[in-house]
Amino acid sequence: MNAPLVRFAPSPTGYLHIGNARPALLNALFALRHGGRFLLRLDDTDAERSTEEFARAIEEDLAWLGIVPDLRARQSERAAIHDAAAERLKAAGRLYPAYETQEELERRRRRQLGRGQPPIYDRAALELTEADRAALEAEGRKPHWRFKLDARSVAWNDLVRGEAHVDCASLSDPVLIRADGTYLYTLPSVVDDADLGITHVIRGEDHVTNTGVQVQIFEALGYPVPAFGHHNLLTTIDGEGLSKRLGHLSLRGLRDDGFEPAAVRSLAVLTGSAEAVRAVATMDELAALTDLAQISRAPAKFDPHELDGLNARLIHAMPFEEAHDRLAAMGVPGDRAEAFWSAVRANLAKFAEAGDWWKVVAGPVTPSVADPAFIAKAAELLPPEPWDGETWKAWTSAVKTATGAKGKGLFMPLRLAITGLEHGPDLAGLLPLIGRDELSRRLSGKAA
């Protein structure tokens, strides 16, 4: 395969959600796997709904996922190219004006259904004479423009689905230009894909029928036809489309909730594939696992609860070198950061929790002491510094011998006095970080 050029083409009319992440990642990973390039094209021709805020948010969300586009384009800056293509189709007789209103088309569809006929456009506009069109325009009607489909089957070897085809004889001639002169999605997408040199179009299976139409437009304009791949769509466990449940599944929301981008990537890509869903730390590793031909034809049921487990496993396996800068931003001193990370990471579900445990180490902490005599005795037995990973074991053994306490009766009162909490990382790792002076203060019942 020659180096591919793929594209992700969102409209900047809202924030990206997990359903958008799937095609964005599949395109980026395909390019990475095959030594290709990734184009971000903002399909921003909807001037009323497209905003710069959403355009910036799309770039931010992609960067968070680990996707940095090689190329960028905006459809709104390419209107002259779209217009030229439309004129070529008109001149070739493939783009023709039609004047029916929505109400008239709906009545016609109902009649066809009542007669047992397929409710496709009957091409009545092709029977209009110049005089007919002039009379309609004199009434104030403005035409929309339809693409005249060849009544044939369009076939292609789909990168995901294998041999695929669409019978265009069963479709209505699609409207490419509205009565107000604005374009629908189809024509600008074809023109931009061809002009920008897109070699592979990887998108959701809801575009399969569009592909039959678009192949005919590519051919009518004399453009090379790219390869197509149509992946299954993410749904909820109940099979509901994710687009109906954007809230907490927006990429922005997932980021704010503290999930690692690698966890989101892993679940968005591996769900609904032959690969088992697991935590994959890097884009390179995920690209090696991502084979479009191994994507299932069944819906990809996305369970957001799986993110919790994936996220925790990624944190537990995260090397200190990757955590270093984030710990520094939390105020963890460089000379103590590696030991701190080793002590707490196995206890974290999300990275932000490390900041909470640093507060436990650095103080102030309000101790919880139910048995002052027991804690006072433990304080007397604190060994001298320097402390290391064996200090906790030596100290608790001495306390056990002196008091007879054991098991939960030994360890829980000490944990509560040291951290004020009933749970947390292994105290063997935290004790040297807290230090003898600070620990003595806590065992005395005083906050630092």
> Do 93 and 145 share a domain, yes or no?
yes
Give φ, ψ of 275 to 5 degrees: -80, 140
Q: Count of domains in the chain?
A: 4
Please say if the pLDDT value at position 401 is more than 90.
Answer: yes
DSSP class per residue in 72-116: EEEGGG-HHHHHHHHHHHHHTTSEEEE---HHHHHHHHHHHHHTT
> Do 113 and 30 share a domain, yes or no?
no
**Each residue of 336-354: pLDDT tens digit?**
999 999 999 999 999 999 9
Write down the pLDDT at residue 410: 97
Given 176, 206, 231, which residue is the final one in a domain?
A: 231
- Detail the DSSP E strand segments found in 267-387: 300-301
Please say if the pLDDT value at position 448 is more than 50.
Answer: no
Is residue 266 situated within a structural domain? yes
> Do 100 and 191 share a domain, yes or no?
yes
Is residue 202 situated within a structural domain? yes
> Could you tell me what percent of the chain has a pLDDT over 70?
98
Write down the pLDDT at residue 304: 87
- Detail the DSSP E strand segments found in 75-226: 95-98, 144-147, 153-158, 162-167, 175-177, 200-204
Give residue 260's domain range: 5-76+233-311
Coil, strand or helix at 366: coil
**Each residue of 248-285: pLDDT tens digit?**
589 999 999 999 999 999 999 999 999 999 999 999 99
Eight-state DSSP code of residue 8: E
Taking residues 98-119, what's their average pLDDT? 93
Structure tokens at 358: 């640093």
Please say if the pLDDT value at position 1 is more than 90.
Answer: no
Neighbour tally for 416: CB within 10 Å? 17
**334-344 helix and 427-434 helix, angle to the nearest 10 degrees:** 160
Eight-state DSSP code of residue 206: G
Is residue 448 situated within a structural domain? no
For residue 230, what is the enclosing H or E element?
strand 227-231
Eight-state DSSP code of residue 257: T
Instruction: Using alpha carbons, select from 45, 46, 41, 95 the residue that is nearest to residue 71.
Output: 41
Given 212, 231, 250, which residue is the final one in a domain?
A: 231
Confidence of residue 327 (pLDDT cuts 50, 70, 90): very high
Structure tokens at 251: 């990429």
> Could you tell me what percent of the chain has a pLDDT over 90?
90
> Do 108 and 159 share a domain, yes or no?
yes
Distance, in Å, from the CA atom of 294 to the CA atom of 316, rounded to the nearest integer, reads: 29
> Do 197 and 84 share a domain, yes or no?
yes
Please say if the pLDDT value at position 444 is more than 50.
Answer: yes
Please say if the pLDDT value at position 50 is more than 70.
Answer: yes
**Each residue of 207-226: pLDDT tens digit?**
999 999 999 999 999 999 99
Instruction: Using alpha carbons, select from 112, 162, 156, 148 the residue that is nearest to residue 293.
Output: 162
Identify the CATH number of the domain in which residue 412 sits: 1.10.10.350
> Do 119 and 221 share a domain, yes or no?
yes
> Do 410 and 296 share a domain, yes or no?
no
> Do 226 and 240 share a domain, yes or no?
no
Given 231, 265, 288, which residue is the final one in a domain?
A: 231
Confidence of residue 447 (pLDDT cuts 50, 70, 90): low
Identify any residues that bridge with 231 across adjacent strands, giving them in sequence order: 204
Distance, in Å, from the CA atom of 257 to the CA atom of 351, rounded to the nearest integer, reads: 11
Bridging pattern class, strands 200-204 and 227-231: parallel
Please say if the pLDDT value at position 22 is more than 80.
Answer: yes
Please say if the pLDDT value at position 445 is more than 80.
Answer: no
Write down the pLDDT at residue 293: 95
Is residue 392 situated within a structural domain? yes
Taking residues 103-111, what's their average pLDDT? 94
Distance, in Å, from the CA atom of 7 to the CA atom of 193, rounded to the nearest integer, reads: 8
For 385, counting Cβ atoms within 10 Å of its Cβ (0-12 exposed, 13-18 middle, 19+ buried), the class is exposed
Is residue 367 situated within a structural domain? no
Write down the pLDDT at residue 155: 98
> Do 206 and 62 share a domain, yes or no?
no
Is 278 in contact with 312 (CB distance < 8 Å)? no
Is residue 343 situated within a structural domain? yes
Coil, strand or helix at 426: coil
Confidence of residue 302 (pLDDT cuts 50, 70, 90): confident
Tell me the one-letter amino acid at 63.
A
Please say if the pLDDT value at position 244 is more than 70.
Answer: no
Bridging pattern class, strands 153-158 and 162-167: antiparallel
Confidence of residue 247 (pLDDT cuts 50, 70, 90): low
- Detail the DSSP E strand segments found in 9-93: 37-42, 71-74
Is residue 417 situated within a structural domain? yes
Residue at token pair 């931003």: 329
Is residue 188 situated within a structural domain? yes
Write down the pLDDT at residue 422: 94
Which of 11-20, 60-69, 126-135, 335-344 comes out lowest in average pLDDT? 11-20
For residue 234, what is the enclosing H or E element?
strand 234-235
Identify the CATH number of the domain in which residue 197 sits: 3.40.50.620
Identify any residues that bridge with 165 across adjacent strands, giving them in sequence order: 155
Give φ, ψ of 367 to 5 degrees: -65, 155
Is 269 in contact with 279 (CB distance < 8 Å)? no
Is 234 in contact with 300 (CB distance < 8 Å)? yes
Which of 160-164, 240-244, 440-444 comes out lowest in average pLDDT? 240-244
> Do 383 and 425 share a domain, yes or no?
yes
Identify any residues that bridge with 202 across adjacent strands, giving them in sequence order: 229
Give 34's Cβ-side CA count (13 Å radius).
Answer: 19
Instruction: Kindly list the distances between the CA atom of residue 82 and the CA atoms of 86, 137, 181, 187, 225, in Å, as whole numbers in the listed order.
Output: 6, 24, 12, 7, 17
pTM of the complete model beyond 0.85: yes
Q: Greatest CA span in the chain, whole angstroms?
A: 109
Say which residues have a Cβ less than 8 Å from residue 339's Cβ, sequence separation at least 6. 429, 432, 433
